[in-house]
Amino acid sequence: MRTSWRPGFESSSTESPTSSHAVDGLRRPSSPRARASHVAYSSTPIAPSGNRSWRETGLDDGFTSKIVHRLEADGLVERDESGALRVQNPNLMLDAWAEVYAFEKHEIVRGHVTARSGEELLRRLGGALKGDKIRHAATGLGAAWLHTEFAGFRLVTFFVASRPDDALLERVGFREEPRGANVWLVIPDDAGVFDGSANKQGIACVHPVQGYLDLLAHPERAKEAAAELRSSLLKWGS
């Protein structure tokens, strides 16, 4: 999936995000429908079958077709003359998804690592996870900084495909303690959180859509960071 974004989508829908039936399929952090919606944000036209982007969701053509029909009925995607699909109202879809997204349903291991700064900690943890070949991607405040360099931060959050072993945690000085944590290691309930992740400044980082959703559950200046991420990289017509 491409991680570039196309501004200028026009919206004619006045439907409230919470009234859309499509919201029901987005309740799990990375439900199959949510993953398909994530791919649908690509600036490249997409097709319900025979297209690499849809195959990347891990969904079969039959299930994908049902998702597409529901999203079309809800006015969230539309077909062009060739039959390819585009998001009709990206702002509505993102708002609807954000309203029901449940970050806390992931498994979150909170702890502390002594570090000079959030950036130094982000790079150290990213390097350690990469060195141990653990699938990972920065999200939250660290992801916002990697994408936009917006503001300093203390809390570093990484999605990890599995919990790092004790040797790695000891090597980076990680102590599990929720109070005063400056590290969240998040084992996702679905690998869809890694869809569209890319290398940013030498660190694996989630797609801007995923980062935006996750920021809504973070402390510090997360709301400001989410607003900056959306205004900088998730710009569409109103």
Would strands 136-139 and 156-160 be described as parallel, antiparallel, or unpaired? antiparallel
Alpha-carbon separation of residue 120 from 26, 115, 117, 126, 185 (angstroms): 34, 7, 5, 10, 16
Tell me the backbone φ, ψ of residue 230, rounded to 5 degrees: -70, -45
Predicted pLDDT of residue 158: 98
Predicted pLDDT of residue 215: 97
Predicted pLDDT of residue 50: 40
Predicted pLDDT of residue 218: 98
Predicted pLDDT of residue 169: 97
Domain boundaries, the chain: 17-100, 104-233
Predicted pLDDT of residue 71: 78
Predicted pLDDT of residue 237: 63
Q: Cα 231 to the chain's mean position, in Å?
A: 16
Q: Which amino acid is at 15?
A: E
The answer to whether 35 and 195 are in contact (CB under 8 A) is yes
Euclidean distance between CA atoms 232 and 229, whole angstroms:
5
Predicted pLDDT of residue 36: 47
- Give me Rg for the CA atoms of the chain: 18
Overall pTM surpassing 0.85 (yes/no): no
Predicted pLDDT of residue 57: 57
Which portions of the chain are predicted below pLDDT 70? 1-60, 237-238
Give the DSSP letter of residue 164: P
Q: What is the largest CA-CA distance in the chain?
A: 57
Euclidean distance between CA atoms 7 and 96, whole angstroms:
19
Predicted pLDDT of residue 87: 78
Select 17-100's CATH number: 1.10.10.10, 3.40.50.2300, 3.40.430.10, 1.10.3720.10: 1.10.10.10
Predicted pLDDT of residue 77: 79
CATH 3.30.460 fits 104-233, yes or no: yes
User: Helix, strand or coil for residue 199?
Assistant: strand
Two domains, one topology: 17-100 and 104-233? no
Predicted pLDDT of residue 47: 43
